[in-house]
Amino acid sequence: MWRRPQTAAAPVPDPTLGMARVETRDAVPTPIGPARGCPFAGRCSKVMDVRRTVTPLAVAVAPNHVVSCHLYG
Protein backbone atom coordinates (compact mmCIF):
# COMPACT_ATOMS: atom_id res chain seq x y z
CA MET A 1 0.00 0.00 0.00
CA TRP A 2 1.37 3.43 -0.96
CA ARG A 3 1.18 6.23 1.58
CA ARG A 4 1.95 9.89 1.08
CA PRO A 5 5.01 11.08 3.00
CA GLN A 6 2.83 13.50 4.96
CA THR A 7 0.79 10.65 6.46
CA ALA A 8 3.33 7.84 6.40
CA ALA A 9 4.34 8.49 10.01
CA ALA A 10 0.84 7.75 11.32
CA PRO A 11 0.87 4.75 13.67
CA VAL A 12 -0.55 1.46 12.39
CA PRO A 13 -3.34 0.08 14.64
CA ASP A 14 -2.11 -3.49 14.07
CA PRO A 15 1.60 -3.82 14.94
CA THR A 16 1.84 -7.13 13.07
CA LEU A 17 1.25 -5.31 9.76
CA GLY A 18 4.30 -3.08 10.00
CA MET A 19 4.88 -0.03 7.83
CA ALA A 20 6.54 0.38 4.46
CA ARG A 21 9.46 2.77 4.18
CA VAL A 22 8.58 5.95 2.29
CA GLU A 23 11.28 7.73 0.31
CA THR A 24 10.93 11.40 -0.57
CA ARG A 25 12.25 12.85 -3.80
CA ASP A 26 14.02 15.95 -2.48
CA ALA A 27 14.96 17.65 0.76
CA VAL A 28 12.58 19.72 2.85
CA PRO A 29 12.39 23.29 1.48
CA THR A 30 14.10 26.06 3.41
CA PRO A 31 11.84 28.24 5.59
CA ILE A 32 14.00 31.28 4.77
CA GLY A 33 12.65 33.71 2.20
CA PRO A 34 9.37 33.77 0.31
CA ALA A 35 8.29 30.44 -1.13
CA ARG A 36 7.25 30.11 -4.78
CA GLY A 37 4.77 27.47 -5.79
CA CYS A 38 3.62 24.52 -3.76
CA PRO A 39 5.75 23.77 -0.68
CA PHE A 40 5.53 20.04 -1.51
CA ALA A 41 6.50 20.38 -5.22
CA GLY A 42 10.00 18.98 -4.66
CA ARG A 43 8.69 15.95 -2.77
CA CYS A 44 5.44 15.13 -4.57
CA SER A 45 5.21 12.11 -6.87
CA LYS A 46 2.48 13.87 -8.90
CA VAL A 47 4.31 17.15 -9.46
CA MET A 48 3.25 19.37 -12.39
CA ASP A 49 5.04 22.42 -13.83
CA VAL A 50 2.44 24.79 -12.34
CA ARG A 51 3.31 23.57 -8.84
CA ARG A 52 6.81 25.01 -9.04
CA THR A 53 5.60 28.59 -9.63
CA VAL A 54 1.98 28.97 -8.45
CA THR A 55 0.96 28.52 -4.81
CA PRO A 56 -2.25 26.43 -4.67
CA LEU A 57 -5.37 28.05 -3.24
CA ALA A 58 -7.36 26.51 -0.39
CA VAL A 59 -10.34 24.55 -1.74
CA ALA A 60 -13.15 22.93 0.27
CA VAL A 61 -13.36 19.25 -0.74
CA ALA A 62 -15.80 18.13 1.96
CA PRO A 63 -17.60 19.68 4.92
CA ASN A 64 -14.94 21.01 7.31
CA HIS A 65 -12.11 19.76 5.04
CA VAL A 66 -9.93 22.13 3.02
CA VAL A 67 -6.89 21.28 0.88
CA SER A 68 -4.33 23.47 -0.86
CA CYS A 69 -3.30 21.29 -3.81
CA HIS A 70 -3.33 21.76 -7.58
CA LEU A 71 -4.69 18.21 -7.95
CA TYR A 72 -7.89 19.09 -6.09
CA GLY A 73 -8.27 22.77 -6.98
pLDDT, tens only, 20-60: 666 666 656 666 766 678 888 777 878 788 888 898 899 89
Phi/psi at 67 (5° precision) = -125, 150
pTM: 0.51
Rounded to an integer, the average pLDDT of 2-16 is 63
* Torsion angles phi and psi, residue 62, rounded to 5: -165, 165
pLDDT at residue 63, rounded to an integer: 92
Listed residue (49, 29, 48) closest to 39, CA to CA: 29
Give me the pLDDT at residue 25, please: 62
